[in-house]
Amino acid sequence: MSKHTVNIIIDNVEIQAREGQTILQAADDAGIYIPRLCYLKDLIPGGHCRVCTVKVNGRPASACTFPVSEGLVIENDTEELTTLRRNVVEMLFAEGNHICPSCEASGNCELQAMAYRLGMLTVTQPFLRMPRELDATHPDVFIDRDRCILCGRCARASEAEGKRVFGFEGRGINKRIAVDGMHGLKETELKAADRAAHACPTGCLRVKRVGWKVPVGERLYDTTPIGSDIEQKQPVG
């Protein structure tokens, strides 16, 4: 990473960023949280969810992919962007078949936590209720595509650890996460200890036999909103 620094402005606060960083990485370092779902630290950004969309010099761009440069003026925490992000999160809820009250991921789920953080009260889009396949063939990991938001984190994590367990198939509204086996996940190289098996932000890709170990009430987002860890890093301003 280059040692050269550049100055950028996020919501009227000037921060320093290292050349080569993306807007999202620079904001994280400065303790400014930009909401995101498909981004996972150390992985190549995917640009799938668009929740991290900010205004860069007045134009929309995804913070997870946009490189910093001297003098960028960025809008992040505005009412307009919060509404647009909430609308996209709502679409994800209506697109999939989510079961928050009975989902094992509830409380640890980034999608659910994001909905809370962005102030989503209900889903105003019609639920699509499309059939989505469940893959429980693997002895230690299962995929419940009902809860997949196609963030691609599992696929990128798998590639990063030298495997190619996941990919996509289909297009448009019929796009789904796919696995590198003819008869399901059991034929892939996936191990429960792989980072890929733990990369899912929702209840889609889960390791078996560890469900409900942490009781509801003591889970990641039960007491503090998503993004708190970043905001607590160093107070801004």
Judged by CB under 8 A, does residue 91 bind another protein? yes
What would the DSSP string read from start to end of the chain? ----EEEEEETTEEEEEETT-BHHHHHHHTT-----SS--TTSPP---S-TTEEEETTEEEETTTPBP-TT-EEE-S-HHHHHHHHHHHHHHHHHTT--GGG-TTTTT-HHHHHHHHTT--S--SPP------EE--SSSEEEEGGG-----HHHHHHHHTT---EEEES-GGG-EEEESSTTSGGGS---TTSSGGG--SSSSEEETT-TTSSPTTSSHHHHS-TTHHHHTTS---
Name the minimum Å distance from CB 183 to another protein: 9
CB nearer to another protein: pick between 15 and 150: 150
CB nearer to another protein: pick between 179 and 204: 179
Judged by CB under 8 A, does residue 99 bind another protein? no
User: Phi/psi of residue 214, each to 5°?
Assistant: -95, 120
Judged by CB under 8 A, does residue 164 bind another protein? yes
Give the C-alpha separation, 213 to 3, whole Å: 43
Judged by CB under 8 A, does residue 78 bind another protein? no
Name the minimum Å distance from CB 181 to another protein: 7
Judged by CB under 8 A, does residue 39 bind another protein? no
Judged by CB under 8 A, does residue 147 bind another protein? no
Among positions 36, 48, 117, 145, the unique one binding another protein when judged by CB under 8 A:
48
Judged by CB under 8 A, does residue 88 bind another protein? yes
Judged by CB under 8 A, does residue 71 bind another protein? no
Judged by CB under 8 A, does residue 168 bind another protein? yes
Judged by CB under 8 A, does residue 77 bind another protein? no
Judged by CB under 8 A, does residue 100 bind another protein? no
The residues binding another protein (CB under 8 A) are: 45, 47-51, 53, 60, 62, 65-67, 84-85, 87-88, 91-92, 94-95, 124-126, 128, 149-150, 164-175, 178-182
